[in-house]
């Protein structure tokens, strides 16, 4: 019995016209990297990849996390011979649980003697006559969906039980790069995941307020970057010392404007680092209305300090939906560890919810902005995952 892994990729990749080959190759490279250490042979067959390996289970577990992969199916390879195909289909049905079924055929090999409708009908009839248990056809909601694909060299048979859902999205590294502001909270890792899922290369920046935030808070952010890197490739985390900036703001600026001014510094530094390391954009885990600084006015005022697109993939999402993704991607348990972050320590009692750009700009004139930003950047710590 020959089993192969069939990788189906996201339909969006097919829409890329002349660039389709580029996306397919990138996906192939990304899967290859994920399978490092496993002996695997790739077979590219118009619009999908087949992978032959002895380590099937481990390979499927890794491939399903690759962005751009829609489904990973464990399929049986059969000679192009209708009797052999019918037998394999029957064998699959014996193994599958359920009392209703439907056969779906895809015939890429136009030389095959029957068309796809005929194959489905005849295999269905063969199963009905020969299966050793009671079974009915149900074309609308079958418990078992038996797939038959007839290609040029071989045919393949699998059922819905053999399908593992993939991460979907676009191949990582096909859509530019972003600097994710990664805090220890629930939201920003999810924002990073969603950007990476669309093929955007991730880099992370964390603002650390030593000694007001502990080493453990920093370790938590490192752990989150590490979890994210399981979905991406190498991730670089830039750790920026932020205490001096905060102290200076507390010392010179109005109390109710602390948060918003601090956020402007975060934006400036993220953009500055992006410029320095050739990164296209910045991203945050902000969601409209979630906290005082995430009002429309607040976002406008922090965007004022961005010299490149600032993406906020969670902007229109509810907290419960964000939490659901965090659980699914495995960041939730780390995010809820109770270590303080810099924002919770320096929160004003009554933060401004409707800051006015001109007023904030004026307030900031009390600070030596460039010097503060440069000093912070000169003292960054860089960690790779």
- Chain contacts with ligand ATP (rule: CB under 6 A): 181-183, 185-188, 205-207, 266, 284-286, 290-291, 293-294, 341-343
| CA dist., res. 94 & res. 90, Å (int) | 6
| CA dist., res. 363 & res. 254, Å (int) | 8
Which residues sit opposite 94 in a β-bridge? Answer: none
Q: Does 192 bind Mg ion (CB under 5 A)?
A: no
Find out whether the peptide bond into 223 is cis, omega within 30 degrees of 0: no
181 binds, among Mg ion, ligand ATP, none (CB under 5 to 8 A by kind): ligand ATP
Binding residues: 181-182, 206-207, 263, 285, 294
The alpha carbon torsion through 28, 33, 36, 41 (nearest 10 deg) reads 10
Stretch near Mg ion under the rule CB under 5 A, chosen from 63-71, 142-150, 175-183, 270-278: 175-183
Contact 182, 218 (CB under 8 A): no
144 binds, among ligand ATP, Mg ion, none (CB under 5 to 8 A by kind): none
Contact 133, 144 (CB under 8 A): no
89 binds, among Mg ion, ligand ATP, none (CB under 5 to 8 A by kind): none
| CA dist., res. 184 & res. 334, Å (int) | 8
Joined together, the tokens standing for residue 380 give 């960054």
Nearer to Mg ion, 169 or 189 (CB): 189
Least CB distance from residue 383 to ligand ATP, whole Å?
Answer: 14
Closest-CB residue for ligand ATP? 185
Stretch near Mg ion under the rule CB under 5 A, chosen from 114-122, 178-186, 233-241, 263-271: 178-186
- Neighbour tally for 215: CB within 10 Å: 11
Q: What's the Cα-to-Cα distance from 125 to each of 118, 192, 266, rounded to whole Å?
A: 11, 50, 66
Least CB distance from residue 186 to ligand ATP, whole Å?
Answer: 5
Contact 148, 155 (CB under 8 A): yes
176's CB contacts (< 8 A; 6+ apart) are 200, 201, 280, 281
Nearer to ligand ATP, 142 or 355 (CB): 355
Nearer to Mg ion, 60 or 292 (CB): 292
Least CB distance from residue 291 to Mg ion, whole Å?
Answer: 9
78 binds, among ligand ATP, Mg ion, none (CB under 5 to 8 A by kind): none
Least CB distance from residue 292 to Mg ion, whole Å?
Answer: 13
Q: In what order do the strands lie in the sheet with 177-181?
A: 310-311, 281-283, 177-181, 201-208, 236-241, 381-384
Least CB distance from residue 302 to Mg ion, whole Å?
Answer: 14
| CA dist., res. 370 & res. 360, Å (int) | 16
285 binds, among ligand ATP, Mg ion, none (CB under 5 to 8 A by kind): ligand ATP
Least CB distance from residue 185 to Mg ion, whole Å?
Answer: 3
Nearer to Mg ion, 185 or 192 (CB): 185
286 binds, among Mg ion, ligand ATP, none (CB under 5 to 8 A by kind): ligand ATP
Binding residues for ATP: 181-182, 206-207, 263, 285, 294
Nearer to Mg ion, 25 or 327 (CB): 327
Least CB distance from residue 214 to ligand ATP, whole Å?
Answer: 13
Contact 370, 239 (CB under 8 A): no
| CA dist., res. 152 & res. 111, Å (int) | 8
Strand, coil or helix: 40? strand
Q: Does 183 bind Mg ion (CB under 5 A)?
A: yes
Least CB distance from residue 360 to ligand ATP, whole Å?
Answer: 16
Give 38: exposed, middle or buried? Use CB within 10 Å, 0-12, 13-18, 19+: middle
Nearer to Mg ion, 147 or 183 (CB): 183
Footprint on this chain of Mg ion (rule: CB under 5 A): 183, 185
């Amino acid at each position: 019995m020959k089993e192969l892994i069939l990788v189906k990729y996201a339909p969006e990749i097919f829409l890329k016209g002349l660039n389709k080959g580029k996306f397919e190759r990138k996906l192939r490279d990304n899967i290859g990297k994920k399978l490092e250490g496993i002996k695997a042979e790739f077979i590219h067959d118009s619009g999908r990849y087949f992978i032959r390996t002895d380590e099937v289970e481990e390979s499927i577990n890794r491939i399903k996390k690759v962005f751009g992969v829609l489904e990973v199916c464990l399929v049986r390879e059969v000679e192009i011979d209708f009797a052999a195909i019918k037998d394999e289909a029957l064998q699959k049905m014996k193994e599958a649980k359920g009392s209703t079924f439907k056969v779906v055929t895809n015939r890429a090999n136009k030389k095959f003697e029957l068309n796809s409708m005929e194959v489905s009908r005849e295999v269905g009839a063969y199963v009905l006559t020969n299966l050793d248990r009671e079974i009915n056809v149900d074309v609308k909601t079958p418990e078992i969906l038996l797939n038959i694909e007839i290609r040029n060299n071989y045919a393949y048979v699998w059922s819905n039980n053999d399908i593992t859902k993939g991460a979907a999205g676009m191949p990582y590294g096909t859509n530019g790069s972003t600097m994710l502001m990664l805090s220890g909270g629930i939201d920003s890792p999810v924002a990073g995941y969603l950007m990476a899922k669309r093929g955007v290369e991730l880099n992370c920046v964390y603002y650390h307020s030593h000694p007001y935030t502990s080493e453990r808070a920093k370790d938590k952010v490192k752990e989150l970057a590490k979890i994210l890197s399981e979905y991406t490739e190498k991730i670089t985390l830039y750790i920026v010392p932020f205490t001096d900036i905060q102290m200076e703001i507390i010392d010179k600026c109005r109390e109710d404007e602390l948060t918003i001014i601090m956020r402007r510094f975060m934006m400036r530094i993220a953009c500055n680092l992006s410029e320095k390391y050739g990164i296209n954009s910045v991203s945050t885990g902000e969601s409209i209305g979630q906290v005082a600084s995430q009002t429309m006015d607040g976002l406008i005022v922090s965007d004022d300090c961005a010299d490149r697109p600032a993406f906020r993939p969670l902007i229109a999402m509810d907290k419960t939906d964000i939490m659901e993704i965090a659980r699914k991607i495995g960041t939730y348990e780390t995010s809820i560890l109770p270590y303080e972050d810099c924002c919770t320590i320096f929160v004003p009692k009554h933060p401004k919810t409707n800051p006015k750009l001109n007023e904030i700009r004026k307030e900031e004139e009390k600070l030596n902005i460039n010097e503060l930003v440069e000093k912070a950047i000169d003292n960054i710590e860089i960690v790779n995952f």
